[in-house]
Chains A and B, each alone.
Chain A
Amino acid sequence: MSGCMRQEPDGARADYNFAYLDEQTKRMIRRAILKGLAIPGYQVPFASREMPMPYGWGTGGVQVSAAVMVPEDRFKVIDQGADDTTNAVSIRAFFERTAGVATTTRTREASVIQTRHRIPEEPLREGQILVYQVPIPEPLRFLEPRESETRKLHALEDYGLMHVKLYEDIARHGHIATAYDYPVRVEARYVMDPSPIPKFDTPKLADCPAIQLFGAGREQRIHALPPYTRVVPLDFEDHPFEASKPDHPCGLCGATDSYLDEVIVDDAGGRIFVCSDTDHCEARRDSGHVGEDTA
Chain B
Amino acid sequence: MSAHAEMTPLLSVRGVSKRYGAQIGCADMSFDLYPGEVMGIVGESGSGKSTLLACLAGHLRPDTGSVLFDTRADGLRDTVRMSEPERRMMSRTDWAFVHQNPRDGLRMAVSAGGNVGERLMAVGARNYGDIRRSAVDWLDRVEIDTGRIDDRPSTFSGGMQQRLQIARNLVTGPRLVFMDEPTGGLDVSVQARLLDLLRGLVRDMGLSAIIVTHDLAVVRLLADRLMVMKSGCVVEAGLTDQVLDDPQHAYTQLLVSSVLQV
> Which residues of A does B touch, CB under 8 Å?
143, 152, 156-161, 163-164, 167-168, 170-172, 235-239
For B110, the chain A residues whose CB sits under 8 A away are 164, 168
CA distance A158 to B119 in the complex (A): 10
* A–B pairs, 19, beta carbons within 8 Å: A156-B88, A159-B122, A160-B119, A160-B121, A160-B122, A163-B126, A164-B107, A164-B114, A164-B117, A164-B121, A167-B113, A167-B114, A167-B131, A168-B111, A170-B128, A171-B132, A172-B111, A236-B127, A236-B128
Closest to A171 in B: B150
CA distance A152 to B150 in the complex (A): 29
> Which residues of B does A touch, CB under 8 Å?
84-85, 88, 92, 107, 110-111, 113-114, 117-119, 121-123, 126-129, 131-132, 149-150
For A164, the chain B residues whose CB sits under 8 A away are 107, 110, 114, 117-118, 121
For B127, the chain A residues whose CB sits under 8 A away are 236-238
CA distance A67 to B44 in the complex (A): 61
CA distance A168 to B112 in the complex (A): 10
Decide if A156 touches B122 in the complex (CB within 8 Å).
Answer: no
CA distance A170 to B131 in the complex (A): 12
For B122, the chain A residues whose CB sits under 8 A away are 158-161
Decide if A171 touches B88 in the complex (CB within 8 Å).
Answer: no
Decide if A158 touches B88 in the complex (CB within 8 Å).
Answer: yes
CA distance A238 to B131 in the complex (A): 11
Closest to A167 in B: B114
For A171, the chain B residues whose CB sits under 8 A away are 111, 113-114, 132, 149-150
Q: Within the complex, what minimum Cβ distance (angstroms) separates A168 from chain B?
A: 5
Q: Within the complex, what minimum Cβ distance (angstroms) separates A76 from chain B?
A: 39
New A-B pairs, 18, CB < 8 Å, besides A143-B107, A171-B111, A171-B149: A156-B88, A157-B85, A160-B92, A161-B118, A161-B122, A164-B107, A164-B117, A164-B121, A167-B114, A167-B131, A170-B128, A171-B150, A235-B126, A236-B126, A236-B127, A237-B126, A237-B128, A238-B129
Closest to A163 in B: B121
CA distance A235 to B127 in the complex (A): 9
For A238, the chain B residues whose CB sits under 8 A away are 127-129
Closest to B85 in A: A156
CA distance A160 to B122 in the complex (A): 4
For B132, the chain A residues whose CB sits under 8 A away are 171
For A168, the chain B residues whose CB sits under 8 A away are 110-111, 114
For A161, the chain B residues whose CB sits under 8 A away are 118, 122
Q: Within the complex, what minimum Cβ distance (angstroms) separates B222 from chain A?
A: 29
Decide if B118 touches A160 in the complex (CB within 8 Å).
Answer: yes
CA distance A172 to B123 in the complex (A): 23
Indicate whether A167 sits within 8 Å of B128 (C-beta atoms), given known contacts A156-B84, A160-B118.
Answer: yes
For A156, the chain B residues whose CB sits under 8 A away are 84-85, 88
Closest 5 interchain pairs by CB?
A160-B122, A163-B121, A236-B128, A160-B121, A237-B127
Q: Within the complex, what minimum Cβ distance (angstroms) separates B103 from chain A?
A: 15
Q: Within the complex, what minimum Cβ distance (angstroms) separates B133 from chain A?
A: 11
For B114, the chain A residues whose CB sits under 8 A away are 164, 167-168, 171
Indicate whether A239 sits within 8 Å of B121 (C-beta atoms), given known contacts A156-B84, A156-B88, A168-B110.
Answer: no
For A239, the chain B residues whose CB sits under 8 A away are 128
Among A143, A161, A167, A170, chain B packs the most CB atoms within 10 A around the CB of A167
Closest to A159 in B: B122
Closest to B152 in A: A168
For B126, the chain A residues whose CB sits under 8 A away are 163, 235-237
Decide if A167 touches B121 in the complex (CB within 8 Å).
Answer: yes
CA distance A171 to B133 in the complex (A): 12
CA distance A170 to B121 in the complex (A): 14
For B150, the chain A residues whose CB sits under 8 A away are 171-172
Among A152, A163, A237, chain B packs the most CB atoms within 10 A around the CB of A163
Closest to B150 in A: A171
Among B88, B107, B121, B127, chain A packs the most CB atoms within 10 A around the CB of B121
Q: Within the complex, what minimum Cβ distance (angstroms) separates A189 from chain B?
A: 14
For A158, the chain B residues whose CB sits under 8 A away are 88, 122
CA distance A160 to B89 in the complex (A): 12
Q: Within the complex, what minimum Cβ distance (angstroms) separates A174 from chain B?
A: 11
